[in-house]
Structure 1
């Protein structure tokens, strides 16, 4: 059987030795370090806790490469066991409901009409005589917007696996029709959740997401020329 992860751990380690390696975005954060891979027993314990089998390319990565560490952006969030419970660790990892990973991730985001209707109701400063009244109105509108965009039910069946800075993150879908794909989360900038797509418009899988990052990093950090 072809092992898609053969040599990947060594390639990451080799990148960390290149003079230009810190020029890769996020490298100063993850420092090219990888956690140890999970054992079969540990993976079974993780999947037993969350009640669902992980997407195949991600679970084999956990077994063959690492439980987390160096990866896209500020790194791949590691999955670790603390006080006999498994969890993903990283900025925003707690946004995921680990008790709901077996529930299917929603097929779509909020009804676009709901977003459009609410956007149309956004207060405008010129409609208020007093700035304090406008501030109160916009604060109330923000609360309604966040309640819609960040409703917990919108991210069931998914885990946060990477942080891009400025509250922008990426999710791996665990359950449902989008299982195994990566979704971007720019809701902090009022941009809805969306699938990451390749150049052909196809959803990006975990394996494609990670190996594309690795190949790009290798192009950015070629080894120095050897002495003639």
Structure 2
């Protein structure tokens, strides 16, 4: 692995440890017949994954998933899966494991994702059900779901097309995707950019909460 990529991943893991230590609080809950551990977290979604990293992906499982995709995952995402974690701690409700994504038969992995930052997809007006279904059919191309934000919102890893390797935000309710842009550079984010931005927001003492991208 490229040394700069290895250094970024090492820094992310260190920052994740720091966030876990600062945010994850435990308490003993007395249920009468037994005691259980309860968890409290300030950061949105962290109570779901509790900052726990799953084991790295089995190479055979990754190969099978990429055969299903018909392409390799972006390098940063692939390195994270194989060296760090196949799902678990990460932005919002946590990063999806490959096994969950392998269940999604609705995505046309062989087609290009048709949108770009310069040519985005407009939100569907309320009640326009036919247009919403047409939009979803276009969105479900050349991408895979990366994380769940809750309330019908998701983060997508784009696999094919001009936006390949970028991470996008998606509202299922409004059938509308949009690129996640860095606040300073205004450039679309890669997988590690996305993870780093979430950590920076979560560790910012001036922020009370980390909401949707």
Same structural fold, with TM-score higher than 0.5 when normalized by the shorter chain: yes
Q: 1:206 offset after TM fit, Å? A: 1.1
Gaps of 5+ in 1: 81-86, 123-140, 222-228
Query: Is residue 2:91 matched to residue 1:106?
Result: no
**Structure 1 counterpart of 2:71:** 52
Kindly tell me: are residues 161 and 194 of structure 1, through their superposed partners in 2, closer, same or farther at Cα, counting changes over 3 Å?
Answer: same
Q: Which has the higher helix share?
A: 1
Alignment of 1:1-228 (within 5 A): 1-2=2-3, 3=6, 4-18=8-22, 22-80=41-99, 87-88=100-101, 94=104, 97=107, 100-107=108-115, 108=119, 141-150=127-136, 152-188=137-173, 190=174, 192-199=176-183, 200-220=185-205
The CA distance in 1 between the partners of 2:156 and 2:23, in whole Å, is: 31
Q: 1:101 offset after TM fit, Å? A: 1.9
Kindly tell me: are residues 201 and 187 of structure 1, through their superposed partners in 2, closer, same or farther at Cα, counting changes over 3 Å?
Answer: same
Q: 1:187 offset after TM fit, Å? A: 4.3
Query: Higher Cα Rg: structure 1 or 2?
Result: 1
Provide the alpha-carbon RMSD of the alignment.
2.9
Does the aligned pair in 1 maintain the 2:154–2:171 contact within 8 Å? yes
Gaps of 5+ in 2: 26-40, 207-213
Helix, strand or coil: the match of 1:5?
Answer: helix
The CA distance in 2 between the partners of 1:178 and 1:192, in whole Å, is: 15
Q: Which has the higher strand share?
A: 2
The CA distance in 2 between the partners of 1:202 and 1:167, in whole Å, is: 25
Does the aligned pair in 2 maintain the 1:24–1:220 contact within 8 Å? no
Greater relative contact order (Cα < 8 A, sep 6+): 1
Helix, strand or coil: the match of 1:16?
Answer: helix
The CA distance in 2 between the partners of 1:210 and 1:219, in whole Å, is: 14
Q: 1:28 offset after TM fit, Å? A: 0.8
Q: TM-score, normalization: structure 2?
A: 0.73
Kindly tell me: are residues 54 and 96 of structure 1, through their superposed partners in 2, closer, same or farther at Cα, counting changes over 3 Å?
Answer: farther
Q: 1:161 offset after TM fit, Å? A: 1.2
**Structure 2 counterpart of 1:135:** none
Q: TM-score, normalization: structure 1?
A: 0.69
Helix, strand or coil: the match of 2:9?
Answer: coil
